Structure 1
């Protein structure tokens, strides 16, 4: 598909056709190409070339997409950062990725080696740069950072072949054409927002409108104005939309479908949304390590609520026991994935890569089973992971920060059920001998190093945390205590 030359191809075929828009900017194909060339020129001026990494820490805007294509044009890879990252989190990712340049909205000092380039600098060059590095399918394209049980996020390495395969699958699965218009509301630092919401419709000849901060009350106004044909969201968003006041009766006739992923969705929420707005929700499942999606309920065919659908074309999905052997039909086990969409590995983490990629299969850590029709049912998730409003939170990352605080002897984070967000993190701590801890001071300490959505909503100080038979902190006991407290309140 040659993603780096996509802007050129679109401009050559239909220069004045709409391509990319956000809350403030609307770019036709020729304008998009011009912006990409200018940005590529600016990056070259800062020494960016083939094999380098460009870090992008921007909110959802058209110029984030421009920056991605500009880097690819030079043969560089992109690592997108959550724009609400703390300085500590951002500095870690920029350093771990060895980024040569960091693109931001406003100047920032993270104490890193990367040159800081603002969006104003990015398109300031007067002479558009027509230079393009020859496409290499095996070249690194994206470094998507995903939280892990080691306490620090890992860089998922996706090459251009991964992206090409995933985009081709999405286009086929959703019948995307030049008539399609994606309304992007998911963050562009996740694979789903990049691949499903942006690259796939642009490759199909369609267009993308990038919405800024999501507001449920204003969402359908945007749908009506843009005449979007589809969008992708997480269960939390569908809950908010399904619960809008009854007097809101938007025109949803332009929408062909809506996609749902990132966390298990309530069948009740799916049914309430579909029956109210007349828009079918296509639920699927995937990981960053698989470039976004591996199973999906068919757009044309039986959609089974409570499942995450069938394996997508070109991918294999099987259920295995702890030794990697396939289980009997209908039995539960670990979900394994194989296909051209599977990552090349974790950046600078050969041991973790070897544990996750085994004999050509991606070990997801998720537990599932196939029903009688071959639809995947997720039974459980990776141990301890919390999904809050579609965002993956690994307790170990929070606990690692807590253990840096003087006076903290033990720390454990578990998920507590929430009616809108699905889950939220809560923390239990105990103090070192002779020390005194209070929840407020622990909360303030965590706030210096963690993005807001990762911070525990409640911190409880105990004399000691419960232990299991081998002396490890007993998280199941802590979870049971949360359930018991909820039941008695």
Structure 2
């Protein structure tokens, strides 16, 4: 299977079958191929070729998917850019990825590469550039994850990773040409790309891009598009489960929904399923594992409170503190192996070597396997905050705050939130004699961080609590915050 040639194969097999839609476009296979060809011609005109990287900063639209396939057609890789990032964050990603060009629908100065407006991309001559016969080991995606060292890391996923992962998803979900995914998750995450776009298209089905999620209009979209499945984060299920009592949509087309990206409340998922008649299967995975590693089966025993069984072709180990596997039921670090494990972190060989050891991906997550082999997550990677499905590493926020000369100490922890799951909050201590208030810190943070990363509360203390070895005591800060709520 060759991803760059997928639009061609679909157009040849079923020219008028639906492929890709959003709020503005509805492309059958023939029009999808034509759009990809036009976009590929434009990228080629800007010098993009095999081995290059194309950054794409677009909202969730069919155009983003077209750009993805256009770059692959030329043998280039793609790094999706979160549209919520500020200019400095975008510039870092573009530079770190070594992007040759960036496709965007917004004005942007100084990215360090050619900027291709969306209108220009789609107005290409449509010359017939044959899809490259891509080496399975060629880079396909660079997915940037929040960095524990204060800067995001580029996760390198090759074509073999994507094809292996999509094959696992197709098998686990039993996808075929009758399936239709409704995409509600962001396309700068690998989940949205793999589960809701590539897998259904490879299976012969179709995708509708829903754009920005809105609880008030979501079921209208379900009734109009008639999808067979969608994937979402716990926050979305909580919002939908709490819709007014008079909301009674027709959900008969939906055969299942997927929940992942953050721990979910068993009660919320049960309430959603009972109210709307849609089975919800929980899964677990990381960008470093090309999306998913475990999933509760659709046709089989679903265990609430677990994230399911390993996907076909993957193995899960639970490692104790001594580095040995622990017996079933005991807690340890979750390790993953399989053809879906990333090539590594771009330009970070030391971090890669520490993360992938002898083919095993060390997730940093803590869990256990029950008597049936279902994975139960006990804790998450140290300190990480998951806000509405978005991973936020405190160190990234702290690094920005430490740019202020008045800051002596800074620490970010998560505060439980009934809607988003968690929100970041900041504790800071000032240098002697400094005059700086919370508003000043907040204003500085706005210039260096995306909106979803901004602390919802800032507290200035005389000094931050320390543990026995002199490190900032984050558990103490969490307790302090809980006392003030």
TM-score, normalised via structure 1 length: 0.98
Partner-residue secondary structure (3-state), 1:145? strand
Please report how far the alpha carbon of residue 441 of structure 1 lies from its aligned counterpart in structure 2 after TM superposition: 0.5
1:102-121 superposed matches below 5 A: 102-109=102-109, 111-121=110-120
1:394-433 superposed matches below 5 A: 394-433=393-432
Partner-residue secondary structure (3-state), 2:9? helix
How many Å separate the matches in 2 of 1:197 and 1:432?
Answer: 49
How many Å separate the matches in 2 of 1:323 and 1:399?
Answer: 32
Please report how far the alpha carbon of residue 372 of structure 1 lies from its aligned counterpart in structure 2 after TM superposition: 1.5
**Preserved contact between residue 170 and residue 203 of structure 2 (Cα < 8 Å):** yes
Work out whether 1:254 is the aligned partner of 2:269.
no
1:174-323 superposed matches below 5 A: 174-323=173-322
Q: 1:339 matched to which residue of 2? A: 338
How many Å separate the matches in 1 of 2:246 and 2:87?
Answer: 43
RMSD (CA atoms): 0.8
Q: 1:46 matched to which residue of 2? A: 46
How many Å separate the matches in 1 of 2:51 and 2:464?
Answer: 47
TM-score, normalised via structure 2 length: 0.99
Alpha-carbon displacement from aligned partner over 1:303-358 (angstroms, at most 9, x marks no partner): 01100000010000110023432112211000000000000000000010011001
Q: 1:59 matched to which residue of 2? A: 59
Q: 1:15 matched to which residue of 2? A: 15
How many Å separate the matches in 2 of 1:471 and 1:106?
Answer: 46
How many Å separate the matches in 1 of 2:36 and 2:261?
Answer: 30
Q: 1:68 matched to which residue of 2? A: 68
Partner-residue secondary structure (3-state), 2:252? coil
Q: 1:251 to 1:321 in 2, by over 3 A?
A: same
Alpha-carbon displacement from aligned partner over 1:210-265 (angstroms, at most 9, x marks no partner): 01111101101100101100000000000000000000000000000000000010
How many Å separate the matches in 1 of 2:311 and 2:475?
Answer: 35
How many Å separate the matches in 2 of 1:351 and 1:156?
Answer: 14
Q: 2:466 matched to which residue of 1? A: 467
Partner-residue secondary structure (3-state), 1:219? helix
How many Å separate the matches in 2 of 1:162 and 1:207?
Answer: 21
Q: 1:95 matched to which residue of 2? A: 95
Aligned length: 485
How many Å separate the matches in 2 of 1:137 and 1:322?
Answer: 36
**Preserved contact between residue 107 and residue 117 of structure 1 (Cα < 8 Å):** no
How many Å separate the matches in 1 of 2:230 and 2:457?
Answer: 33
**Preserved contact between residue 54 and residue 71 of structure 1 (Cα < 8 Å):** yes
Partner-residue secondary structure (3-state), 1:448? helix
**Preserved contact between residue 75 and residue 133 of structure 1 (Cα < 8 Å):** yes
Please report how far the alpha carbon of residue 126 of structure 1 lies from its aligned counterpart in structure 2 after TM superposition: 2.2
Partner-residue secondary structure (3-state), 2:324? coil
How many Å separate the matches in 1 of 2:108 and 2:365?
Answer: 38
**Preserved contact between residue 146 and residue 154 of structure 1 (Cα < 8 Å):** yes
Q: 1:327 matched to which residue of 2? A: 326
How many Å separate the matches in 2 of 1:7 and 1:323?
Answer: 49
How many Å separate the matches in 1 of 2:73 and 2:395?
Answer: 37
How many Å separate the matches in 1 of 2:98 and 2:252?
Answer: 46
Please report how far the alpha carbon of residue 128 of structure 1 lies from its aligned counterpart in structure 2 after TM superposition: 2.6
Point out where structure 1 has 5 or more consecutive residues left out of the alignment: none
